[in-house]
Amino acid sequence: MSWQTFILHIFTYGILLYSMILLLCYLLIGAFSIMETRSYLHKNSFTDYRVLASSAEAPSMSILAPAYNEGATIIENVRSLLSLHYNNLEVIIINDGSKDDSLEQLIKAYNLYKVDFFVNQQIKTKPVRGVYRSHNPVYRKLIVVDKENGGKADALNVGVNIARNDYFVCIDVDCVLEQDALLKLAKPFLETSNQRVIAAGGVVRIANGCEIEGGRLVKVNLPKQFLPRIQTLEYIRAFLLSRMAWTKLNGLLLISGAFGAFDREIVIACGGYNTNTVGEDMELVVRMRRYMEERDEPYKVAFIPDPLCWTEAPSSFKILGRQRNRWTRGTIETLRFHKKMFFNPRYGILGMLSYPYWFFFEFLAPIIEFFGTVGIIIYFFTYAVNWQAIMIMIGVVCIGILYSIFAIMMEVLTYNQYKKRKEILSLVMVAILEPFVFHPFVVWSAVVGNFDLWRKNNSWGEMERKGFVANKKA
């Protein structure tokens, strides 16, 4: 056997082994997701959220919504947040040194005035320029904070300092929440007596194509554009399968930055959001978990499968590439900050399962996939057609499609947001096309993200949003 053949075989079987382990992970994720979702749906059938809505005993919550140059939609978005069904609520909008007229618009629309406000700097942040409240008692829940620009994490830290309630919900100001989203998100914090729920997340769905009126979701439609449509499938897969499965194992590492609730006391004890990473949402959850593990305190990160938050997905490859690039850098930075936990039994599931999974199948997967594909192409042109490697690739692609179809099936069996059969079939078509059209681009963006991190490029990657105005019903 020549050395080329030997390397080829090592390469082929290495990929095969990796694929087999990945397949096993998919199977386990599917099984755990079914268990957790079934359990949740049964439990939820006994829940009357009206009890919580009318109760003075409901946990107090603060919504933190950082805004940077959101002038085009901020008034409507704040109105939507103020209309949420929840009793003990304050809404804190943090204007992160916007260069547009966001603040002026807010002052005018909500009749705001500057108040003397003592900001307790429990977490160090960039200076606060002013805190505003409304003269109008209708908007008594609203607090607007104007601060020097410091990025999303810094803005959230200001919000954490200013919030007075036990829990806070961080949200992207342009997201649309279901009216009962806070009631549903508050419940996990009340359910357990033997462990502390330190954070809770809910499903984020794609709002492109949906009908939105006055900041409220009126009708769910599958996006018409190809990219948002494919991301719809991606989100279903990630939220309904992966996150539910990790919740079952109490090993969830990520609560989406677009919408998640946190125990304020623990967040402050951990030092708040890390301003040195672009993956501040994941990093915070990992640090909170690590904090609890190191203190041997029983805890849980909860996740509920109800679609609670609707967000606009990038509809161009340029913006999508920036987003995925940032996600990759955020993941690597978080893994690097907490490398101490890698296969460290001191951290239980977190160190022995969650962290290694993220390392091997979230961080390494795109790199392996990229170099695997490049390797196969090189061998194809230089030595011989390695049919075995190609068969493995076809197998992996088929497994990916199967996994996506399984996710669609879970969606149909549970929340069934896309009622028309045409929409379901369209999602199936997307599942078949995704490995050839969308996935290579995501892999490429992740590889570029790795390269950018190595070059120390830590830009956020602006997300240009079109807003939901276009989706409004005529």
The answer to whether 409 contacts another protein (rule: CB under 8 A) is yes
Q: How far is the CB of 6 from another protein (least distance, A)?
A: 8
Chain positions 76 to 115 lying near another protein, rule: CB under 8 A, are 115
- C-alpha distances (whole Å) from 346 to each of 195, 339, 340, 343, 349 are 18, 13, 10, 9, 9
Contact pattern from residue 248 through residue 267 relative to another protein, giving x for each residue in contact according to CB under 8 A and a dash for the rest = -----------------x--
Contact pattern from residue 144 through residue 183 relative to another protein, giving x for each residue in contact according to CB under 8 A and a dash for the rest = ----------------------------------------
- C-alpha distances (whole Å) from 361 to each of 19, 212, 290 are 10, 36, 21
Chain positions 183 to 202 lying near another protein, rule: CB under 8 A, are 187, 189-194
By C-beta, is 121 or 459 nearer to another protein? 121
For another protein, the binding residue among 249, 319, 365, 428 (CB under 8 A) is: 428
Q: In this chain, which stretch among 5-13, 233-241, 274-282, 447-455 interacts with another protein, using CB under 8 A?
A: 5-13
For another protein, the binding residue among 45, 99, 456, 474 (CB under 8 A) is: 45
The answer to whether 2 contacts another protein (rule: CB under 8 A) is no
For another protein, the binding residue among 6, 317, 371, 451 (CB under 8 A) is: 6
The answer to whether 413 contacts another protein (rule: CB under 8 A) is yes
The answer to whether 399 contacts another protein (rule: CB under 8 A) is yes
The answer to whether 57 contacts another protein (rule: CB under 8 A) is yes
The answer to whether 7 contacts another protein (rule: CB under 8 A) is no
For another protein (CB under 8 A), the number of binding residues is 50
Chain positions 324 to 383 lying near another protein, rule: CB under 8 A, are none
The answer to whether 405 contacts another protein (rule: CB under 8 A) is yes
Q: How far is the CB of 264 from another protein (least distance, A)?
A: 12
The answer to whether 391 contacts another protein (rule: CB under 8 A) is yes
Rounded CA-CA distance 374/444 in Å is 12
The answer to whether 133 contacts another protein (rule: CB under 8 A) is yes
Contacts with another protein by CB under 8 A lie at: 1, 6, 9, 13, 42-43, 45-46, 48, 51-52, 54-55, 57-59, 115-118, 120-122, 133, 187, 189-194, 265, 388, 391-392, 394-395, 398-399, 401-402, 405-406, 408-409, 412-413, 421, 424, 428
